[in-house]
Structure 1
């Protein structure tokens, strides 16, 4: 017994029908295209993981801006208390 009740002979018959319908050259091209697509997908996933792991410089700039805003708000607080007094 093969995969899910399909015997090896049934698989060979289906394979023969596919080869007759599409031809070996077209199947070879489809296989090559599929292989290159999988290869490029794997490299894109690998590049995406590397980019996610390394720190970005723009985030460091955002932290500097946040510190500047905090300093500005601290400087402004005493001036507001002078106006109310």
Structure 2
């Protein structure tokens, strides 16, 4: 495994993790007592917490990346054949 392959695997895992954690802790404007924005879409989240979700995705993808790299380097799966 080269460095470029490791970076690509990490980026793929990061996006998978980010899209998995994105719907966590969402309260739509139609569910909130005071949405605070006139004319906003009722399905839009009141507080998206994007930075928190990005950090969570970074942590999850780091663990998944380490597991993936360990499996590839151990030779359990040989992708070269």
* Pairwise TM-score range, normalised by the shorter structure: 0.3 to 0.5
TM-score by length of 1: 0.31
Structure with greater contact order relative to length (CA < 8 Å, sep ≥ 6): 2
Which protein shows a greater Rg? 1
TM-score w.r.t. the length of structure 2 is 0.33
Higher helix share: 1
